[in-house]
Amino acid sequence: MRLFAAVLPPPDVTAELGSAVGELRKLPGSGSGSGTGTGVGAGTGGGQGLRWTAPAGWHFTLAFYGEVDDELVPDLSARLERSARRTAPFALSLRGGGRFGGRALWVGATGDVRTLRLLAERAEAAGRKAGVTREEHHGYRPHLTLARSREPADFTPYVSALDGFEGRAWTVGELCLMRSRLPVSGVPGEQPRYEVLARWALGGSPSRGAAARV
């Protein structure tokens, strides 16, 4: 299974971001034609050929584990549960934007980013100790990917448009173990599908339980 640990923004936050992305897609060269994605922000089109991610897949990746053997998942899950229990809930909101070269556009975060980074470090350590993390940890930059491009793209107008964006705050209360299913149909614009395998309440809240499998 292709797995990663993540924080998921709540529906009202993704709805607000969806409205902002709708404005971004009106910019020249956004590739805002109809695509095969679902919902606001999904799909591909002309212009620079940007591939906009779907709201259903919006998340903050904390640690990427890659392909994980089934027999390693229980140990990984137990370690992630401990990571969640050791981390108190914290406030976060979406703000601003950035890019990774000419390949990806993202929205950033503000609020208790220090605790978000701490949770990412603990999720990365959980994978390493469970024997599943494949790459060395090089520091964590909080970001939620909005669009990608196969060819180098000029994201400057989009980053500038996101400079004034700040979403509503929410309390991060869960750590999630996610499964990623890559597109297999070959249809242009098809989105990866994400599935929550398990979620744990931060701070070990007894009302939520140590783990809730979905």
Annotated catalytic residue 59: yes
Q: How many domains does the chain have?
A: 1
- Whole-number pLDDT of residue 31: 61
Please give the residue range of the domain that contains residue 138. 2-26+50-201
Q: Is residue 137 part of a domain?
A: yes
- Whole-number pLDDT of residue 193: 86
Q: Is residue 70 part of a domain?
A: yes
- Whole-number pLDDT of residue 181: 86
- Rounded Cα distance between 61 and 176, Å, is 10
User: Cα 80 to chain center, whole Å?
Assistant: 17
Sheet containing strand 144-148, edge to edge, reads: 43-44, 51-52, 144-148, 104-111, 90-100, 170-172
Q: What angle do CA 51, 149, 30 make, to 5 degrees?
A: 60
Q: Is residue 156 part of a domain?
A: yes
Q: Provide the whole-model pTM.
A: 0.84
pLDDT tens track for 108-143:
999 999 999 999 999 999 999 999 966 666 678 999
Q: Is residue 19 part of a domain?
A: yes
Q: Is residue 211 part of a domain?
A: no
- Whole-number pLDDT of residue 182: 78
Among candidate residues 25, 59, 99, 199, the one labeled active-site is 59
Match 């990984």 to its residue by tokens: 76
The DSSP call for residue 214 is -
pLDDT tens track of the chain, all 214 residues? 999 999 999 999 999 999 999 999 998 766 654 333 333 445 544 345 789 999 989 999 999 999 999 999 999 999 999 999 999 999 999 999 999 999 999 999 999 999 999 999 999 999 999 999 666 666 789 999 999 998 889 999 999 999 999 999 999 999 999 999 876 665 556 677 899 999 999 997 643 434 444 4
Helix, strand, or coil here: 94?
strand
Among candidate residues 51, 79, 99, 143, the one labeled active-site is 143
Annotated catalytic residue 137: no
- Rounded Cα distance between 54 and 146, Å, is 8
Q: With the C-alpha atoms ordered 89, 94, 97, 100, is the resulting torsion angle positive or negative?
A: positive
Match 């050929």 to its residue by tokens: 49
Q: Is residue 32 part of a domain?
A: no
Q: Is residue 63 part of a domain?
A: yes
Q: Is residue 163 part of a domain?
A: yes
Q: What is the CATH number of the domain that holds 181?
A: 3.90.1140.10
